[in-house]
Amino acid sequence: MDELELTPLLLANITSWMLPKYAIGTTSTRVVYLRKMFKSNKVLSRDSLRSIMRGMKYQHQRACIVMINKYCYDNDIDFSIIVPSIKKQAMKIPDVFSPAEVKLIIQAAPKPYDLCIRCIFNMGAGLRISEIIKFSWNHIKWVDWLSNQDNYGVAVIKSGKGSKDRAVNIPKNLMKDLYKYAKMEEVLNEFKIPVGGMIFNFGDSDYNPELKTYDIEQWKHEYVKSKYNWFRYNILQLKCEKALNKHIKIHSLRHSRATYLYEVEKVPVEKIQILLGHSSINTTMLYTKINPRSVFEMIKDTGEV
């Protein structure tokens, strides 16, 4: 097939296909570009590609067309198109917070969202916001921990980025505080084990029930996006940013955790990769780029001329 008809149905199908495979930010951004492309073009072909590419200055925009290729391959559609590459921009070193800044962010958050931020930063090599929104009491292996409460806990993060599951550790003090919170929320069963759904509430829990009945994947995507926006505004912007006096990207906590494990705890990068759930160690290496503060520590006692 030399050309692909860009119909509303195809756009809907590609969007549904993307939802379980990619992070919420990636999906949202690419859907915006796909909608523009579908609105301005009736078909995707070698001829139309030239005009489409003129409006795409960045590699992540062109990735939308690569995504169409992947969708066609996964769904046995006889279509593929070569996308000219452009010079990649150097990837920026992620922003990181110092341990003191992380503590201040936690202190500024109202309860129980101080506990929520502690989970984001301290579990494994850091959680994604979508993972903490969906994090439930049943994800934690309570039975093993209750037999020895001086040990760390373990949680299984279900259907993370790329629909992958992974196990992460929970520091023992955090486990104890989660259990105290479970008692307060009265979610213990007759065996004193916390059970039930989401641990943290991010605004209205009854989100768009009509959509949930006929398109569960789209509902999951919109649910997570809605809860993230609530958390970003009501907790980060109204509380934490005022205390820290700077803009906070929640994903920077994950960057900071990986950097902390690598530089302070000396955890091998291969193990951090597993904890983060990265497919490529190159991505993990970006998270563990040396922190400028570490450089300052190395040269703090050097002399002056």
Nearest Cα neighbor of 63 from 39, 88, 42, 46 is 88
Domain extent, residue 27, equals: 4-74
* Predicted pLDDT of residue 243: 92
- The reported pLDDT for the residue numbered 302 is 43
Q: Is 68 a member of any domain? A: yes
Q: Is residue 301 part of a domain?
A: no
Task: Verify that 134 and 280 share a domain, yes or no.
Answer: yes
Co-location of 38 and 117 in the same domain = no
In the numeric block, which tokens belong to residue 61?
């925009």
49 plus 164 within the same structural domain:
no
Could you tell me if 48 and 145 lie in one domain?
no
What's residue 199's pLDDT? 94
Residues 10 and 127 in one domain: no
The answer to whether residues 122 and 174 touch, using CB atoms and an 8 Å cutoff, is: yes
* Count of structural domains within the chain: 2
Domain match, 185 and 278 both: yes
Among the three residues 74, 108, 126, which one is the final residue of a domain in this structure?
74
For residues 126 and 209, state if they share a domain.
yes
Amino acid 27: pLDDT: 82
- Shared domain for 141 and 284, answered yes or no, is yes
Domain assignment of residue 89, yes or no: no
Residues 124, 39 share a domain: no
* Rounded alpha-carbon distances, angstroms, from residue 221 to 23, 130, 257, 277: 9, 9, 26, 20
The answer to whether residue 299 is domain-embedded is no
CB 187 within 8 A of CB 195: yes
User: Is position 133 within any domain?
Assistant: yes
Which CATH number covers residue 262? 1.10.443.10
Whether residue 107 sits in one domain with residue 62: no
Confirm whether 209 is domain-assigned. Answer: yes
In a domain? residue 13 = yes
Q: Which pLDDT score, from 0 to 100, does residue 155 have?
A: 94
CB neighbour class for 96 (10 Å; exposed up to 12, middle 13-18, buried from 19): buried
The verdict on 211 and 157 lying in the same domain is yes
**How far apart are alpha carbons 54 and 61 in whole angstroms?**
11
Mind listing the pLDDT tens digit of every residue in the chain (305 residues)? 788 999 999 999 998 888 877 777 778 888 888 898 898 889 999 888 888 887 777 777 788 888 899 999 999 999 998 877 666 555 566 678 888 999 999 999 999 999 999 999 999 888 988 899 989 999 999 999 999 999 999 999 876 555 577 888 999 999 999 999 999 999 999 999 999 989 999 876 666 667 667 666 777 778 888 888 999 999 999 999 999 999 998 888 888 888 888 877 788 888 888 777 777 777 777 666 655 555 445 444 544 54
Would you state the pLDDT for residue 102? 92
Residue 81 lies in a domain: no
Same domain, 109 and 239: yes
Q: What is the pLDDT of residue 88?
A: 59
